[in-house]
Amino acid sequence: VAGKEYSLTPKKVPLVKTRYRTIKTKIPVPASLAVLKRLRKFEPRSMSGQPPVIWDKAKGCQVWDAYGNKWLDWSSGVLVTNAGHGRKEIVDAVVKQARKNLHNYCFPSDLRARLTEKLVKASPKGIDKCFLLTTGAESTECAFKLCRTWGQKVGGRKKIGMISFEGAFHGRTLGAQMMGGIPALKDWIVNVDKAMWQVPFPDGYWVEDTRFETFLAKLKAQGVTPDRVAGVITETYQGGNASFAPKEFMQKLRAWCDKHKILLVMDEVQAGFGRTGKYWGFEHYGVTPDLVCCGKGISSGLPLSCVLGRDDVMDQYAPGSMTSTHTGSPLPVVSALASMDIIKNEKLVQNAARLGRVLHRELKRLQKKYPDRLGTVLGKGLVASLHMVKPGKKKAPDGDLAFAVVERCIEKGLMLFSPVGVSCVKISPPLCINEAQILEGCKVVAEALDEVLAEGA
């Protein structure tokens, strides 16, 4: 899970000049080193796993630095700018609001009413209420608390457990990491809550057995009985590798939760707001969760998250006892209102579905070319993940190859964030991308892979 630190030695790279990309300096840019080194000095080492490019401005699917380089963005930040970077409607709304009122925190506001109503109305039937927060981790923490409180209400003091999935990521705070399924990330906790259990996520590649019966068997093997379970939380697709569970599995999970008065929580922090070619990622499964955690793409930029859910679950706490200082902070709220309008008006969900098919077709072609190094391509819509593996070993992740591909793509003017889940090159452009930009990006990924493999990676 540990990432790699990028070199701060400028490298001479071939010049690039296309409609969507310009690279005219060494990378990292020598003139940017002073800032990069200051960051290394004043920030914790954990922050040095980010590509050494200093963004100066961004618009739509393009990112510029201050030195004449231009990237085609396939990161959306980290899946944040679903509507696109620097959208005029969002910028105008934020500027207008900033001039008007920044201070309406612990008092009711029209903006908060507008956004919570809009989010509930964008949700399926059965989702009645919305609680606004700031980060994705806060939303999963909040869902955890709601589940645990609910469990005790319907099943007494023993019904407090949470089931989650191996490989899952729900954020970096205590509860979120205890629910997470990456052992290295929670090693520091030592005394992890005993009522937290993980089971394999049935992605069909890393975990071939996708039967629901196996889920039940894995619980049984850990001594878990449904009367001790308050909630099941899962990312709609696993962020680490863009993998989905089979529809049938999720439907059986939904039925099992209903049968045993267990809440089903979908962490849509990555999957929501059109990313997967549907407005909500869980629509692919034909199920409605009891609670939905949102973040990232909710606002296309400013920090905002929320929990959406059934009113009987959301209304458990007395007035004043589930709040947050920045709930409904005006600038993120107007950003989200404008972003949701853009996604609707420009039919970006449909665009993600249509261009997602093009993206996945091209990436699958690439996978056929390098089946022994590109183990599989997963994802739906405008999220994809290239799973790099050691030569000929379908199940042996190759983090070095993934890192080399990301680094080379950036040198060629295609912006990606660092590999995730150790060995995955993750692709997640803004949803306003066009077909030419998809095809050009795929060409760059193919070139990068050709080159680093030819160099012996």
Give me the least distance between CB of 272 and ligand PLP, in Å please.
10
Tokens of 424: 């995955």
306 vs 444, beta carbon nearer ligand PLP: 306
What is the SS3 string spanning 64-87?
ECCCCCEEEECCHHHHCCCCCECC
Give me the least distance between CB of 140 and ligand PLP, in Å please.
6
- The H or E element containing residue 441 is helix 435-454
Give me the least distance between CB of 96 and ligand PLP, in Å please.
26
Task: Determine contact, residues 295/332, Cβ cutoff 8 Å.
Answer: no
144 vs 169, beta carbon nearer ligand PLP: 169
Task: Determine contact, residues 195/163, Cβ cutoff 8 Å.
Answer: no
Task: Determine contact, residues 385/45, Cβ cutoff 8 Å.
Answer: no
171 vs 381, beta carbon nearer ligand PLP: 171
Residues in the chain: 457
29 vs 427, beta carbon nearer ligand PLP: 427
266 vs 415, beta carbon nearer ligand PLP: 266
- The Cα–Cα gap between 147 and 162 comes to 8
384 vs 449, beta carbon nearer ligand PLP: 384
Give me the least distance between CB of 423 and ligand PLP, in Å please.
17
Q: For residue 294, which of 425, 171, 183, 140 has the smallest C-alpha distance? A: 140
Give me the least distance between CB of 271 and ligand PLP, in Å please.
8
172 vs 220, beta carbon nearer ligand PLP: 172
Alpha-carbon distances, residue 449 vs 20, 294, 438 (angstroms): 20, 34, 17
Give me the least distance between CB of 329 and ligand PLP, in Å please.
15
Give me the least distance between CB of 292 and ligand PLP, in Å please.
12
199 vs 444, beta carbon nearer ligand PLP: 199
Give me the least distance between CB of 124 and ligand PLP, in Å please.
19
The structure tokens 């003091």 sit at 157
111 vs 265, beta carbon nearer ligand PLP: 265
137 vs 232, beta carbon nearer ligand PLP: 137
Q: For residue 253, which of 280, 231, 271 has the smallest C-alpha distance? A: 231
Pure H helices in 156-293:
174-179, 183-186, 212-221, 247-259
Binding site for ligand PLP (CB under 6 A): 135-137, 140, 169-171, 235, 239, 267, 269-270, 295
69 vs 299, beta carbon nearer ligand PLP: 299
Give me the least distance between CB of 278 and ligand PLP, in Å please.
16
Burial class, 368, CB count within 10 angstroms (exposed 0-12 / middle 13-18 / buried 19+): exposed
Alpha-carbon distances, residue 382 vs 30, 56, 175, 249, 396 (angstroms): 33, 25, 29, 23, 26
Give me the least distance between CB of 143 and ligand PLP, in Å please.
10
CA torsion sign for 248, 251, 253, 259 is: negative
- The Cα–Cα gap between 436 and 422 comes to 30
20 vs 169, beta carbon nearer ligand PLP: 169
Give me the least distance between CB of 413 and ligand PLP, in Å please.
25
Tokens of 447: 């070139």
Tokens of 225: 């009985």
- The H or E element containing residue 311 is helix 311-314
Burial code (b: 16+ CB inside 10 Å, e: under 16) for 126-160 equals: ebebbbbbbbbbbbbbbbbebbbebbeeebeeebb
Give me the least distance between CB of 434 and ligand PLP, in Å please.
26
Give the residue nearest to ligand PLP (CB).
136
CA Rg, the chain, in Å? Answer: 22
